[in-house]
Chains A and B, each alone.
Chain A
């Protein structure tokens, strides 16, 4: 099968010549992006540069105008509908608000993908797996029987992460995971992601505006501007480029503060 191709295993996400157009509004034009296996790649860009559209294109929620996207060796752009995407059980997605199913408890939310893909699992095992996934994301054990409406914003994100990890995915997509969290909660969430990524060997595609997250846990950062990815690299590599937006982003007052905190801690 196609996964035996060595190029695919090193680059779980390959985007080539992606174009996204909404009416007259061109969001992406000729966008290329490669994500390495086992890295945390942070995607940054100003508001409206199409970060979420890029993620939605990669996970097949948004059919691009043109271009090709391969995830884990399978073409997303060639799939005609959701059922054609056979690798859905190998990725997990955390949406911005958590997107938990509001009529199910947290534990039942985690069980949904397991039930969908592995009907052979017994009820006992499902309950156990949901329980330890909830614990892995740092939620207390009794959070499993709660409904999303009873959780705070931060707990919803953790519960969403537990659901995203339900199938032991290789790829994790996170849309602004630390947005709306307090600084302590955000730092803890960063460490949680880093810890899980190292323990489980995940490849993480992370959209964020949080400079601390970028400095703390991202191996590489992809910068979206002018309708394409203008640069990918570590933060020092990006700073070496003389692009005005990148300079403004990382060397603005907030960027300097985050960098100072980073070097002070190191």
Chain B
């Protein structure tokens, strides 16, 4: 019982007398005599012991109870109800509380959420995920359709284009990302040049480090890493912003005022990302090449500007086009995932979190899958 005492002692300044009970034998059963303070802070342990009573109870005596609150009253009432035993010697406070509980008690068991066995839960989750994927695909398709319709409306009525929202989003997605994307790309350029040089040196072909860095950054890595960074920075922000706005009914308020959320919220974000992504991709590639050139100057003995001039000679123009074509597509995917997931939020704060996660995962996964398709496609059409 020492542990029980410690449980309530640290919480409240009050130090109630620990409750206890005795069973006084009577003619047709026992009389349950309760003593001490029957309050919320002491109810836990005695409740467990009271539940363990198996002998029939004919009456409940509260004469020795020093303090009682609704939890204590509930214990008395439950025992009295279940055993059909009258309550004796209740003081006015106890009688009032027990009467109040008797009045509201609907006699039903407290409903609890049923526990599902783990293997059932696994099967259930798999099913829910599959169904979710199917409905999700239909939902995304519907969302894209709405977006195309909204774009059509805006193109017919260009005065309704929200330039301020668009430029604001372009700043958030593009300008504010310059620092982190530049630093990341520079470092990746350094790493590629370093690792490439180590391998190529074995063939005495260190000079091909330039080809490696130039082609890889312009064609693949620049835009891919930018897409991943933008998905993490802006895609998640879209989902969280729109999701919170859905929760606070801001989106509903907009619709009642006559502002289409598609036009005011979704399209500026999507267009801004589609426009900024290729720009950021090129910027990222350039920073990667500068990183490679810096490494080459420092440890390979290739002068910085020689490196840059060589890049122009060894990288075919279509590599730049490959990067530029992928840019808007990846931008569309990242923005679409963020906005779609955000607009699906309906219930609570937790959903904002799961939808934001889903937006980033969906964006990065789709970007990488599409990148593989692009790689095969461009090689097949002769842009290898």
**Are B100 and A199 in contact, CB atoms less than 8 angstroms apart?**
yes
B residues in contact with A103, CB < 8 Å: 348-350
A214 at the binding interface (Cβ < 8 Å): no
Interface residue ranges of B69-116 to A (CB < 8 Å) = 69-71, 74, 78, 93, 96-97, 100-101, 104-106, 108, 110-113
**Are A121 and B43 in contact, CB atoms less than 8 angstroms apart?**
yes
**Are B105 and A107 in contact, CB atoms less than 8 angstroms apart?**
no
How distant is A72 from chain B, measured CB to nearest CB, in Å? 8
B44 at the binding interface (Cβ < 8 Å): yes
**Are B349 and A144 in contact, CB atoms less than 8 angstroms apart?**
no
Interface residue ranges of B34-82 to A (CB < 8 Å) = 39-41, 43-45, 47-48, 51, 69-71, 74, 78
B residues in contact with A120, CB < 8 Å: 4, 7-8, 44-45
Beta-carbon contacts of A115-154 to B below 8 Å, as 1s and 0s? 0011111101101111111011000011011011100000
B118 at the binding interface (Cβ < 8 Å): no
**Are B106 and A118 in contact, CB atoms less than 8 angstroms apart?**
no
B13 at the binding interface (Cβ < 8 Å): yes
How distant is A179 from chain B, measured CB to nearest CB, in Å? 17
**Are B74 and A128 in contact, CB atoms less than 8 angstroms apart?**
yes
**Are A122 and B110 in contact, CB atoms less than 8 angstroms apart?**
no
Number of A-B residue pairs, CB cutoff 8 Å, is 110
B202 at the binding interface (Cβ < 8 Å): no
**Are B110 and A127 in contact, CB atoms less than 8 angstroms apart?**
yes
**Are A132 and B113 in contact, CB atoms less than 8 angstroms apart?**
no
B11 at the binding interface (Cβ < 8 Å): yes
**Are A148 and B13 in contact, CB atoms less than 8 angstroms apart?**
no
**Are A136 and B43 in contact, CB atoms less than 8 angstroms apart?**
no
A residues in contact with B71, CB < 8 Å: 129, 168
B residues in contact with A86, CB < 8 Å: 11-13
A residues in contact with B48, CB < 8 Å: 122
Which single member of B39, B101, B350 contacts A168 (CB below 8 Å)? B39
**Are A149 and B347 in contact, CB atoms less than 8 angstroms apart?**
yes
**Are A141 and B108 in contact, CB atoms less than 8 angstroms apart?**
yes
Task: Check A127/B105 contact, CB under 8 A, given A102-B347, A103-B349, A121-B43.
Answer: no
**Are B348 and A128 in contact, CB atoms less than 8 angstroms apart?**
no
A residues in contact with B313, CB < 8 Å: none
**Are A122 and B44 in contact, CB atoms less than 8 angstroms apart?**
yes
A181 at the binding interface (Cβ < 8 Å): no
B2 at the binding interface (Cβ < 8 Å): no
B14 at the binding interface (Cβ < 8 Å): yes
A74 at the binding interface (Cβ < 8 Å): yes
Task: Check A118/B100 contact, CB under 8 A, given A89-B12, A141-B106, A168-B69.
Answer: no
**Are B105 and A132 in contact, CB atoms less than 8 angstroms apart?**
yes
How extensive is the interface on chain B, given as a class? 35 or more
Which single member of A73, A107, A165 contacts B112 (CB below 8 Å)? A107
A144–B350 CA distance with the chains assembled, in angstroms: 20
**Are B347 and A135 in contact, CB atoms less than 8 angstroms apart?**
no
Which single member of A105, A122, A144, A149 contacts B47 (CB below 8 Å)? A122
**Are A136 and B74 in contact, CB atoms less than 8 angstroms apart?**
no
**Are A105 and B39 in contact, CB atoms less than 8 angstroms apart?**
no
A196–B8 CA distance with the chains assembled, in angstroms: 25
A107–B109 CA distance with the chains assembled, in angstroms: 13
**Are A118 and B40 in contact, CB atoms less than 8 angstroms apart?**
yes
**Are B47 and A121 in contact, CB atoms less than 8 angstroms apart?**
yes
How distant is B70 from chain A, measured CB to nearest CB, in Å? 5
A residues in contact with B8, CB < 8 Å: 117-118, 120
Q: Who on chain A is nearest to B6 by CB?
A: A120
Interface residue ranges of A138-191 to B (CB < 8 Å) = 141-142, 144-145, 147-149, 165, 167-168
Q: Who on chain B is nearest to A86 by CB?
A: B13
B residues in contact with A1, CB < 8 Å: 13
Task: Check A124/B51 contact, CB under 8 A, given A105-B113, A168-B40.
Answer: yes
**Are A200 and B70 in contact, CB atoms less than 8 angstroms apart?**
yes
Q: Who on chain A is nearest to B353 by CB?
A: A103
**Are B347 and A147 in contact, CB atoms less than 8 angstroms apart?**
yes
Task: Check A125/B43 contact, CB under 8 A, given A103-B348, A103-B350, A107-B110.
Answer: yes
A residues in contact with B44, CB < 8 Å: 118-122, 125
Q: Who on chain B is nearest to A116 by CB?
A: B11
Which single member of B11, B111, B347 contacts A142 (CB below 8 Å)? B111
Q: Who on chain A is nearest to B93 by CB?
A: A201
A16 at the binding interface (Cβ < 8 Å): no
A78 at the binding interface (Cβ < 8 Å): no
**Are A102 and B13 in contact, CB atoms less than 8 angstroms apart?**
no
A90 at the binding interface (Cβ < 8 Å): yes
**Are B40 and A114 in contact, CB atoms less than 8 angstroms apart?**
yes
How distant is A130 from chain B, measured CB to nearest CB, in Å? 7
A229 at the binding interface (Cβ < 8 Å): no
A135–B108 CA distance with the chains assembled, in angstroms: 11
A61 at the binding interface (Cβ < 8 Å): no
A residues in contact with B43, CB < 8 Å: 118, 121, 125
Which single member of B12, B39, B69, B93 contacts A87 (CB below 8 Å)? B12
B residues in contact with A114, CB < 8 Å: 40
Task: Check A199/B97 contact, CB under 8 A, given A120-B45, A129-B74.
Answer: yes
B residues in contact with A127, CB < 8 Å: 110, 112
Task: Identify 13 new A-B residue pairs, CB closer than 8 A, beyond the known A103-B350, A147-B348.
Answer: A1-B13, A86-B11, A102-B350, A107-B112, A120-B7, A120-B44, A121-B44, A124-B47, A125-B47, A133-B70, A145-B111, A149-B348, A199-B96
Give the B-binding residues of A (Cβ under 8 A): 1-3, 73-74, 86-87, 89-90, 102-103, 105, 107, 114, 117-122, 124-125, 127-133, 135-136, 141-142, 144-145, 147-149, 165, 167-168, 199-201
24 residue pairs from A and B, CB less than 8 Å apart: A3-B14, A74-B13, A86-B11, A86-B13, A87-B12, A89-B41, A102-B347, A102-B349, A102-B350, A114-B40, A118-B40, A118-B44, A119-B44, A120-B45, A124-B47, A124-B51, A132-B101, A132-B104, A135-B105, A141-B106, A147-B347, A148-B348, A149-B348, A201-B93
